[in-house]
Structure 1
Amino acid sequence: MPRPPLDGLIDDLYYLEGTPPYARLTLPASPAALLIVNLGAPFRIRTGLEMADYADGCVITTPTRAWEFSYPARTRSVGVHFKPWGPAPFLPMPAAELCDRPVTIEQVWGRPAVAELRDRLATAHRPHEMLTLLEEELMRRLGETPGLGLVRHTGGVIAATGGAMAIGDLRTAAGVSSTHLAQRFQQLIGVTPKQLARSYRFTTTMLALDPAEPIDWAALASRSGYYDQAHFGHEFRAFTGLTPTRYVEVRRQFLREHPGHVIDGWPLPAD
């Protein structure tokens, strides 16, 4: 757990090294944002029809659709899983400019600073030391961000309710207009409150799903607050790129081929 005040922006910092379970993984859209400092061979990200290689690392704000991550044969990196509003204090541009458009860390922090950071991380002796270095870099770069308090509070309510909070009630409780709230969310998260609520609702539903057991999709859709099963299916394809049936097949493939793997539960083998 990162130290305060980073704990209000970050879920965790992580170290990743080794051979990935699959050369290509699909990551469904989720509320989380991501920063990766790459210390190995370049990795590749596909978002929609666009594909790019990332040598130094990347920053990804809250995505609205699934994206594909291609690993090198061996990977090594440190990274940050941000809360949706977490990257805002560290970005030189509005988060809306990065929505579904990953950028390199050099584009965010500049080449000299990133080169120095990567060199310090690469020469650290232990993962714990590397994560401490990354945390110190984030602390050093942390600054004031206008509107962050509003977005953090209202975004936290959306997160706490799993996306079930009525956006009108949220706006009223915040004491601001719907236009102002939406503008702040897009500036600091990259999506509107409604889009963030959709993402939390879908993610909460998926993480509660057990792919090893039979699934009553109609009952699941109803329990999760979807209008009907067709609405749920539409959301499913929007967030994963797959139908519910195909999603379960792929999750079960992961469970068969890599039982107990540390990343099972969200990334999927790419078709």
Structure 2
Amino acid sequence: MDYVARAPDPPLAALIDDVYLLSGTPRHRRLNVPPMPSAHLFLNLGEPVRLYDSDPGVPAATLTDAWFLGLSTRRFIIEYPTSVRLAGVHFKPWGLAPFVDVSLSDLRDQWVPADAVWGPAVHRLRDQIAQAPSPWTALQVVEDELRARRVPEPPRHFDLVNHTAGRLESSWGSVGVRALTDSAGVSATHLASQFKGLVGITPKRLARIYRFARLILSVDAAAPVDWSGLAQTAGYFDQAHLGKEFKDFTGLTPTGYLALRRRLPAAPGFPPDLGPMPAD
């Protein structure tokens, strides 16, 4: 499967990690996707994609057109068709707020049809992407749409959230909430309230996701793994704390994850394999 992506130019670069296209035959039809510091827009141009929440009480969803996925706090499984054609956007955790007129807490762990948020213009966008003469032209179509939809004035308190969440990003979650509130000159309650509306979760929970992302992106399954050293580097209390977080986020123990990755290694230079792992 081919992955073509690029980071957008400013001012979108402060809100979006990349826009991308996935096309071709997937190496693995089913991927186990742990919580990662991203919100998403999926624009499906091919056969339906199935999404399964790790919460058994949440029904599976079929992605046929376009969907938003808010920040995920639990893992989910994405099941691709035999041939994939999909455009997408990886928003920074706070980056979706200037593009949607809803509280991000309403999108947390939710798969919401894009036309319910952006209206019928989503279908025009999909048609333009499908008709683009090259992958780079298709990415430009997506980027142009994002530039047009970005609100000229950021939501109230967005600067506060943008600054403090950016510190969590740059530190991989190692800055404590007390340090964030002292620096911003606000109470922990106020900061948590603004994060819930503009990110979907509290700063403490976002720090936890960044910490795990740093951990899983640091694991080299082809070599001996020093879990104790990784736990210290990523900011866990100890190896037991790491093990519990790993199981909560992936459904696997660290040992089970290594066995999986050694049997089914990530493709070198293929970002969709960084974090997500085969579920079949």
TM-score normalised by the chain length of structure 2: 0.92
Q: CA RMSD in A?
A: 1.4
For each residue in 1:228-261, what CA deviation from the matched residue of structure 2 results, as whole angstroms up to 9, or x when unmatched?
A: 2221111111211211111112222222xx6536
For 2:17, give the aligned amino acid: D
Q: Give the alignment of 1:206-221 within 5 angstroms.
A: 206-221=216-231
Matched, 1:160 2:176: no
Corresponding residue to 1:227 among 222, 237, 250: 237
1:7 correspondence with 2:13: yes
Q: Distance in 2 between matches of 1:269 and 1:12?
A: 23
Aligned length: 268
- The answer on 1:139 being equivalent to 2:159 is no
1:117 aligns with 2:120: no
Whole-Å separation in 2 of the counterparts to 1:34 and 1:267 = 14
1:18 to 2:27 alignment: no
Runs of 4+ in 1 over 6 A off after TM superposition: none
Give 1:260's aligned amino acid: P
Question: CA separation in 2, counterparts of 1:147 and 1:252?
Answer: 45
Matched residues in 1 for 2:115 and 2:254: separation? 38
Q: Residues 7 and 244 (structure 1 numbering): CA distance in 2 closer, same or farther, change over 3 Å?
A: same
Letter matched to residue 71 of structure 1: Y
Matched residue SS, 1:46? strand
Percent identical among aligned pairs is 46
Find the residue that maps to 2:31 and give its secondary structure. Answer: strand
CA contact (8 A) 2:66 2:122 kept: no
Unaligned runs of 5+ in 1: none
Per-residue CA deviation, residues 188-208 of structure 1 (Å, 9 max, x unaligned), is 111100001111111111111
Structure 2 Cα separation of the partners of residues 97 and 230 of structure 1: 33
Q: Which amino acid aligns with 2:94?
A: W
**Match for 2:208: what amino acid?**
R
Question: Secondary structure in 2 aligned to 1:11?
Answer: strand
Report the TM-score when normalising by structure 1. Answer: 0.95
CA distance in 1, matches of 2:94, 2:267: 33
Offset at 1:95? 0.7
Query: 209, 212, 218: which is aligned to 1:202?
Result: 212
Determine helix, strand or coil for the equivalent of 1:36. strand
Could you tell me which runs of 5 or more consecutive residues in structure 2 were left unpaired when the two chains were aligned.
1-6
